[in-house]
Structure formats: structure tokens, C-alpha cells
Amino acid sequence: MLDNEAPKSNVPEFSVGELAFSLKKTLEENYGRVRVRGELSRVSVAGSGHMYSGLKDDQAVIDLICWKGTMSKLSVKPEEGLEVICTGRISTYPARSNYQLIIESMELAGEGALLKMLEERKKKLAAEGLFDESRKQPLPFLPHTIGVITSPTGAVIRDILHRLQDRFPRHVLVWPALVQGKGAAEQITAAIDGFQNIHNHGQPKPDLLIIARGGGSLEDLMPFNEENVVRAIANSTIPIISAVGHETDTTLADFAADIRAPTPTGAAEMAVPVRMNLMAQVLDDEQRLVSAIGRMLNEYRHKLEAHAAKLGDPAALLENRTQRLDHVNERLSGVFREYLGRKNQSMIEAGAKLRHPKDRLMDAEKTLARWSEQLFATVPKMTKDLSAKLEHAGKMLEAYSFENVLKRGFAVIQDTSGTLITEAAQTTTNQSVRIRFKENNTVGAVIGDGSTASKSIKPPTKKKTPKPKDDDRQETLF
């Protein structure tokens, strides 16, 4: 056949369709199963449910297709920028003659990529507040029913049940769930949600949930990092203890749980207190209660007895009082008698001092007589003294009499009414006056004009100047 075509060209001639399908066949035969590592880009899920994307590295890009049926089985949720290893086959789309990788499975390319993805998811969920302390619920002290979400077989559930049995046997509802691989996250989420309203199915609602899984690789623990699981835990109205992996493994579920236990056994220890300890505590409380009330009653009894003793025998109390009354009474009458005696004595004494009025009269008479005698004795002496004084006074009187002055040559001038004239100013010209000399001889006279006589009269006036003293005397003598 080739030989026949040779003259025209030794290159065979295909129709477009033949070539396209030939290429498709070649590619599918040679690249029927490949593993390609790259970064997802331009991830988009069409309305049909198929995913179209690109896988790139720093040199090239290849188109990716993931059919809807495969999508649901992927262990990795395709995300922009995710470093993945895709397994699938290369095929072409003859209508456009471009080739693409049809994905059968997808895995994360190494731990670094996985951790990076987890870190970003953690940030996102934390920003939503799913890990906030304020969301954490306190664990009940003693739960009645404990819901456990884990694999129903294996060491984990056994460890939990054993430790619960040791500490405080409880009613445990185990919700079996896959804890790794495909579908695990969905089953765990369904179990958490299922427990929230299990009471609608005639089952007691647990007051505590434990979500547990043994240790494993990062990939094994991936379901506990899934967003739906984390959200279900955060939204649970029942407090949740997470016990996923070993203590060093931390999943996002641990952040969302109300408390994280290091191991499944640790979760059981957090879930219930130790019954024997509580028993001992209650018994101890009971003993303390009984001894406290006993002690208190004893105390009250002793107090009562002490007070009763202080009260004493009422009869004895009365006797004592009677005796005291008698004693006081006796003393009272004694005192009274004594008082009367004393009063009597002083009365007698006073009576003795009291004298008869007759005696007192006689005494008074005697005194009177004595005084009268003395009085009479003084009379003669008094009269004698008096006459002597009288005589002396008479002499004195005579000595000072104005008659005697007149005898010495002085005269007294009087006006007609007898008023004594002692000064010239008392006189007027032509006034009639009387001049009296010794032995009561009186002559009339008239005061003359002072013109000539004034000089001659003046001397006597001068002489008269010392007179006022005499006049004063005279006057007193009058």
C-alpha cells in the first residue's frame, strides 16, 4: 500500500479525524497511567459536577479533568494553589485536539504542602471564631450518658470503656464511625450531628461526647482536620472531649473541641470522677456531719447542765434567805433598842440639866438686886461730877459773855428792829440805830454823811477788821 503511494510522497496522508484519533490512541496506550506532580490552578467545578483545572509547574501547564463520579472519592479537596500528585491517564479531546490528564485519584504532595494547607484552614476557621475560648462548654461533673464516636473495634474504644469501668461505670452509647480514609469525615460529622437530637429517636441524649482515634500519620488523621468535622464539633450543644492521635499530633478537631485529651484513656479520666473517691468523700462527710451535730448537742447539754447547777435547790435558796431575814430582823430590833436607850439616856441628862423656874427667878432677882445696888452707888458720884462740870461751864460761859466784852469798852450797834449791824454796808445815811453799852445801857443814834467822817470812821472799820472773829464769837454766843 505504501509502495503504491510512493510516487507522490513517501509521507502517508491522514484525514484530520484519522490523525486525531490516531494520536488519541497513541497517547492512551503510552500514558494510560501516569503520576504527575504539580500545583493546581484555575480550579473550577462545572454545573455538571465535573472539575476542570490546570496542573502546572515552573515550566509547563497541563489541563486536568476530574469526572463527577471520581470527585466524591478524592481524599483531597482540590483547591487553588494546592501542591498535589495526580494519578490518571492522558487523553485527548479530538474535537479540539488538545490533550488532558483525566484524574483517577489525587493526593497532597508531601507533608509540607499538607501542613501549609492545614495552617491556612486553621487561620480561616479561627477567624470565624470556631476555636474561641468563649465557645467552650464546661464538662459535667458526673455525666449520665456518654456518647463515644470512634471505631467500634480496636484498642481505642476498649481503653475508654475500661477506664470508665474503673472510675465510674456509665451508660455509654458508641456511634461507630470510620476514623480514617475516604468517607471518615462524613461519618464523624453525621455522628456528631446525630447525637445532638438522638432524644428524638427514643435514646437518652448524652451529656458528654468523646471523639477518639489512635495515633497515625498526618494523612490518617486528615478526617479530623476536615472543615465539616471541625464545624460540627464547634456547633455541638453537648460538650466534647477530643482524643485524636498521640499527644504530639494536633488536629483542627482538637482546637474546636471543648477540651482535648492526650489519649483515649485520658478522655475517659476527664469524663468521669473516681466513684470510690466520691464514696469515701460522702462517707467522710457523713461522719463529720454526725460527729459535728453530736458535739454540738453535747455542748448544749453541758451548757444546760452547768446553768441548771448554778440555779441550785430552790428550798435551800429559801432557807438561806429566811436565815438572812431573821438575822437582819434581829439586828434591826437590837439597833432600835439601843437607839431608844441612847435617847432615853440623853433625855435623862437633859432633864437633869433642866432647872426649876423658881430657882431661875431667884437668881434673876439676886442679879437685879446686885445691879441696883451698884447703880445706886454711882448716883452720888455722878451728881458730884456733874456739879463740878456745871460750875466750870458756868465760869467759862461768863468768861465768854458779850457783857464782859462790853465791859472792856466795846459797844453793839443794832438797827431799830434789833438786828445786829456788823458792817458799814448794812448802814444807810440818816439811818436810826441803837448803840448798846455795858450794863444794858442803850442810846439812839443816826448814821451821818460819810464825806467828812468817812476818813475818821475808816480807822474804826480797820479796827473792826479783826472784829469779824470776835463777831463770829459773839454770834455764837448769842
| Residue 274 sits in the site that holds another protein (CB under 8 A) | no
Stretch that binds another protein, among 36-44, 49-57, 139-147, 315-323 (CB under 8 A): 139-147
DSSP secondary structure of 81-123: T-EEEEEEEEEEETTTTEEEEEEEEEEESHHHHHHHHHHHHHH
How many other CB atoms are found less than 10 A from the CB of residue 195?
24
Least CB distance from residue 185 to another protein, whole Å?
A: 17
> Can you tell me whether residue 413 is helix, strand or coil?
strand
- The binder of another protein chosen from 5, 80, 286, 403 (CB under 8 A): 286
Under the criterion CB under 8 A, does residue 293 sit at the interface with another protein? yes
Can you list the pairs that 113-119 forms with residues at least 24 positions away whose Cβ atoms lie under 8 Å? Answer: 113/82, 113/83, 113/84, 114/218, 114/219, 114/222, 115/218, 117/79, 117/82, 118/225, 118/252
Task: Compute the least distance from the CB of residue 189 to another protein, in Å.
Answer: 14
170 binds another protein (CB under 8 A): yes
CA 149 to chain centre: 51
> CB 294 → another protein: shortest distance, Å?
10
CA-nearest of 78, 145, 147, 68 to 108 is 78
Q: How many residues bind another protein (CB under 8 A)?
A: 38
CB of 272 to another protein, least distance (A): 9
Least Å from the CB of residue 267 to another protein: 16
Contacts (Cβ under 8 Å, ≥6 apart) of 351: none
For another protein, the binding residues in 193-212 under the rule CB under 8 A are 194, 198, 201, 203
Helix (H, G, I), strand (E, B) or coil at 52: strand
- Is residue 176 part of the contact set for another protein (CB under 8 A)? yes
- Residue closer to another protein by CB (options 102, 173) is 173
In this structure, the strands spanning 145-150 and 208-213 are parallel
CA 139-142-145 angle, 5° bins: 90
Q: Contact between 307 and another protein (CB under 8 A)?
A: no
Question: Residue 34: how many CB atoms within 10 A of its CB?
Answer: 12
Of residues 51 and 161, the one with the C-beta less far from another protein? 161
Q: Which part of the chain contacts another protein (CB under 8 A), choosing from 10-18, 92-100, 295-303, 345-353?
A: 295-303
Q: Is 337 in the site for another protein (CB under 8 A)?
A: no
Binding site for another protein (CB under 8 A): 140-142, 152-153, 157-158, 161, 164-165, 168-176, 194, 198, 201, 203, 275, 278-279, 281-282, 285-286, 288-289, 292-293, 295-296, 299-300
